[in-house]
Amino acid sequence: MQDNISTLENVNIQEDRDALSLCINGQKEAYGFIVKKYMRRAYFTALGLVKNHDDAVELSQDAFIRAYRTISRFDLQKNFFTWYYKILRNLCLNHLRNSSARKLENIDSINDIVDLKQDPSIIAERNDLTEKLWTALSILNVEEREIIILKDLEECSYKEIAERLEIQIGTVMSRLFNARKHLKEKFERLI
């Protein structure tokens, strides 16, 4: 009877397409291959967008769950991570939009360390400007907010952004220019 049962141990999964085909045909255990292959990349992608470890873990896992629930709609001729990235990106951007506390607490920068000898009014002014900047960023549309996050917070190259968003490098540059212009306008209205 054991010989009649198809197990993943007896299946040689070498490519995403193999695992995804098995998933689409009802072998949900094959999805573990996909999760294992992409979980690190997914986590760091989410971390780059939300800048918080716990949120990045939760959002990347949630995106894998959502992707699995809709796996029957996945086109096996397409790249899995590109498809998955869209799900993850939407979850992350929704999280940023809906989050009530927008803090830069996890950005590693020497400027983020508060000097206790610094004048409290300077600290308060910097915190006020930071809050207004995040407010202005949250007002932007999703495309503008995403491109600024990818370039300025995640520090992706134009080429990396173009690949992730499946657009031309020239489109990345023009979107970034316009997004920064709109961010500046919204920020100036708040100060």
Ramachandran area for residue 79 (φ above 0: left; ψ -120 to 50: alpha; else beta)? beta
Mean pLDDT of 114-139: 70
Instruction: Please determine, for residue 2, whether its predicted confidence score (pLDDT) is greater than 50.
Output: no
Tokens representing residue 149 in the block: 């996050």
Encode pLDDT of 133-168 as tens digits. Answer: 878 887 888 788 888 877 887 678 898 888 888 899
Report the residue count for the chain. Answer: 191
Instruction: Please determine, for residue 10, whether its predicted confidence score (pLDDT) is greater than 50.
Output: no
Encode pLDDT of 74-103 as tens digits. Answer: 888 888 988 898 899 889 888 887 764 444
Which carries the bigger pLDDT value, residue 116 or residue 148?
A: 148
Q: Considering only the C-alpha atoms of the chain, give the largest distance between any 2 of them, rounded to a whole number of Å.
A: 77
Residue 88 CB-density burial (10 A; 0-12 exposed, 13-18 middle, 19+ buried)? buried
Tokens representing residue 139 in the block: 């007002």
Cα distances (angstroms) measured from residue 31 to each of 17, 20, 38, 97, 108: 11, 7, 11, 30, 34
The whole-number pLDDT of residue 123 equals 67
Instruction: Please determine, for residue 121, whether its predicted confidence score (pLDDT) is greater than 70.
Output: no
Give residue 63's identity as a one-letter amino acid code: A
CB atoms within 10 A of CB 9: 7
Which carries the bigger pLDDT value, residue 179 or residue 142?
A: 179
The whole-number pLDDT of residue 14 equals 67
Residues 23, 107: Cα–Cα separation, whole Å: 38
Residue 63 CB-density burial (10 A; 0-12 exposed, 13-18 middle, 19+ buried)? buried
Residues 65, 82: Cα–Cα separation, whole Å: 16
Give residue 122's identity as a one-letter amino acid code: I
Residues 100, 141: Cα–Cα separation, whole Å: 17
The whole-number pLDDT of residue 175 equals 93
112-118 long-range contacts (CB < 8 A, ≥24 apart) are none
DSSP letter at 5 equals S
- For residue 118, name the pLDDT band (cuts at 50, 70, 90): low
- For residue 62, name the pLDDT band (cuts at 50, 70, 90): very high
Instruction: Please determine, for residue 66, whether its predicted confidence score (pLDDT) is greater than 70.
Output: yes
- For residue 38, name the pLDDT band (cuts at 50, 70, 90): very high
Domains and CATH numbers, the chain: 1-101 (1.10.1740.10), 113-191 (1.10.10.10)
The whole-number pLDDT of residue 103 equals 42
Encode pLDDT of 11-33 as tens digits. Answer: 556 688 888 999 888 888 889 99
